[in-house]
Structure 1
């Protein structure tokens, strides 16, 4: 049961600030559709009338130039619409942001960036509220545990076994490998990882929308004997539902997706029709806590598995962890194992034998000093 029903959750923001941090990396992060040559982290700071501050993060990986644009959206379009007004709680503030930016979404044709900016502000408001009330967010939202299972993510197509070994040494026992780089490369990597697994370990696959329905169907045939835990985004997100249902019927491999949905209706539709087995909203990309928590709980109640998507910085990872704990179910926390020193400083993982343990610090429990120095 959430503690919110007995708490004062009014929100009156006096300031919203945004900062972009670009962290250098030695090895680019590769997907089937693009490459990251650094690790961008778009930080959001909100200040409440009580003087308490909270921190959020906005998804901003692609395109490279898009991160700076999202900073401007927060400063010029979101902050002026909500600063100085009192809302009955984070949910009311979130609804106001969506309503007041509706026409801008339509005019610009930018529902994604605007939703991402709103999500980051929402995360910051919830962090602020947790600090103000003195509770870690997982407890404030009614979690029954502060210990959640995790998996290593973002494993590039080059040097796969070296990356798996490194992740294993860090405490991971599940490993997600990227595919969609041509059948020869994909076959070699899948076979190598499947044969390298130790007792109690599993592997997962992510195609990042890299295959057509025909290619996905063909790939399932050679992947299936290796028995991955799931195949993620094997087709573009806008592929007709009938093709998703056909793929699901044709394979025993569980299918994951949802990080690129733009509407609550899309999550509701897949929860009803069950053409995904694992549903993966990204809290920093759409919905924040306000929308993602009810979506996650509906997914769990429907018999599917909620797994947060996260490939960003430390605040997004922390928010995903608290959300997963609060949602319940058997989902896994996505932990990007690519180089990102700033992410690791902001939210050092307490990871052991494939499990992450959250602290009892109020709010998100992040390293505030590491975030705050970017605002000075």
Structure 2
């Protein structure tokens, strides 16, 4: 892990909101995405160095434009023109300035997502200033290739999707469940029937079940060799319910994308009912706070697997954090078509035999291909 180089005040920031049309909606147990959105921010310091960040914005359907305006009008202006020495410090300073507004607006989630975007952009900037790949500033693991899994596989065409992603280089997969017993087990069987030796399968219920429903479902799923069962309960269910569910079956439980706050992650890690910890760097905490969560999870003997479902900048930020902290985690890569994944992270890393390969370029190692996505832009703002 390298030291953060001296910093200069930010002189400007830009916000970009994109929407890409898709032919097939992306379905989960709680909602449907009918297009693919992305919210990016580009910050530039007084020396002309820059960095890119991304905010989670998938839901509700108006979420992207809302997060974009929140960044441009509320979160980024207080970050400009002030001294700072490391990303987390500047983000905390901005958060303190906005504390009362955060309470008044009662929008902790969107505010956290906008602050996470700023944090990622600042880390990209300082790594570019240092002339080193971002993961070298974030940690000592020095991984440049990490196992990845194809996520978001759903009916119809589960077997066909697994085969398509295998041809793309993946050796692990995750299927959506939470649609009812018959559909869930059909999805699982369709995926398992196509797996080759050494390939692995996880499932994701997306908070679909009550405790009683989960206690009924997990024993039925014991017949299947599953890597983990993700979000079988709503994220706000009490720790006692997670503990009871963990004690009821042989599966590792996974969660974290919808946990918010250091105290909540600390409690979940201490309880150890959730064995696969999955914070989302674009949804809460950015790289600064999620690095702390990842290290705490690994120190407790748990698994860190970053959650991600969005554009290319957030995916690369997730990959660099996983590379920095090490462990045996897998990188989540959405299997559903999304031009904002590849075009917003150019050149997009290659996948070799199930492993996502990071470049040795400074920072995130990628930049958005703005010419290729200009027609998908729905909102742009420049803050000075």
Q: Same fold (TM over 0.5)?
A: yes
Measured in 1, the distance between the counterparts of 2:79 and 2:312 equals 26
Residue 60, structure 1, aligned to residue 42, structure 2: no
C-alpha displacement at 1:43, in angstroms?
0.8
Measured in 1, the distance between the counterparts of 2:70 and 2:8 equals 21
Question: Larger deviation: 12-21 or 135-144?
Answer: 135-144
Partner of 1:177: 175
16, 21, 28: which is aligned to 1:24? 21
Do 1:73 and 1:114's aligned partners in 2 also have CA atoms closer than 8 Å? yes
137, 152, 157: which is aligned to 2:150? 152
Do 1:20 and 1:71's aligned partners in 2 also have CA atoms closer than 8 Å? yes
Residues 312 and 371 of structure 1: CA distance in aligned 2, closer, same or farther (over 3 Å): farther
- How many residues align structurally? 373
Partner of 1:355: 355
SS at the partner of 2:222?
helix
- Give the 5 Å matches for 1:194-205: 194-205=192-203
C-alpha displacement at 1:129, in angstroms?
1.0
Measured in 1, the distance between the counterparts of 2:78 and 2:64 equals 21
315, 318, 321: which is aligned to 2:319? 321
- Give the 5 Å matches for 1:18-167: 18-142=15-139, 143-167=141-165
Measured in 1, the distance between the counterparts of 2:78 and 2:16 equals 19
Question: Larger deviation: 105-114 or 363-372?
Answer: 363-372
Measured in 2, the distance between the counterparts of 1:56 and 1:38 equals 21
Question: Larger deviation: 56-65 or 79-88?
Answer: 79-88
SS at the partner of 1:271?
helix
Partner of 1:269: 267
Question: Larger deviation: 239-248 or 73-82?
Answer: 73-82
Q: Deviations over 1:204-242 (max 9, x none)?
A: 000000111111111101111102000000011111110
C-alpha RMSD of the superposition: 1.5
Measured in 1, the distance between the counterparts of 2:41 and 2:260 equals 21
Residues 29 and 42 of structure 1: CA distance in aligned 2, closer, same or farther (over 3 Å): same
Residue 10, structure 1, aligned to residue 41, structure 2: no
Measured in 2, the distance between the counterparts of 1:106 and 1:323 equals 30
- Give the 5 Å matches for 1:256-295: 256-295=254-293
Measured in 2, the distance between the counterparts of 1:73 and 1:293 equals 25
Q: Deviations over 1:119-139 (max 9, x none)?
A: 011101111111111111011
Measured in 2, the distance between the counterparts of 1:136 and 1:232 equals 31
Q: Which has the higher contact order (CA 8 A, sep 6+)?
A: 2
SS at the partner of 1:32?
coil
Q: Choose between structure 1 and 2: higher helix proportion.
A: 1
SS at the partner of 2:183?
helix
Partner of 2:232: 234
SS at the partner of 1:283?
coil
Measured in 2, the distance between the counterparts of 1:301 and 1:285 equals 23
Question: Larger deviation: 323-332 or 136-145?
Answer: 136-145
C-alpha displacement at 1:49, in angstroms?
1.0
Do 1:94 and 1:290's aligned partners in 2 also have CA atoms closer than 8 Å? no
Partner of 2:344: 346
Q: Deviations over 1:75-128 (max 9, x none)?
A: 111122121101121121011122122212211111000000000111011111
C-alpha displacement at 1:11, in angstroms?
4.4
Residues 15 and 243 of structure 1: CA distance in aligned 2, closer, same or farther (over 3 Å): same
Moved >4 Å (runs of 4+): 371-376
SS at the partner of 1:26?
strand
Q: Deviations over 1:35-87 (max 9, x none)?
A: 00110010111011110111110000000112111111111111221211011
Measured in 2, the distance between the counterparts of 1:295 and 1:236 equals 20
Q: Mark the runs of 5 or more structure 1 residues left unpaired by the alignment.
A: none
Measured in 2, the distance between the counterparts of 1:9 and 1:264 equals 27
Do 1:53 and 1:128's aligned partners in 2 also have CA atoms closer than 8 Å? yes
Do 1:297 and 1:328's aligned partners in 2 also have CA atoms closer than 8 Å? no
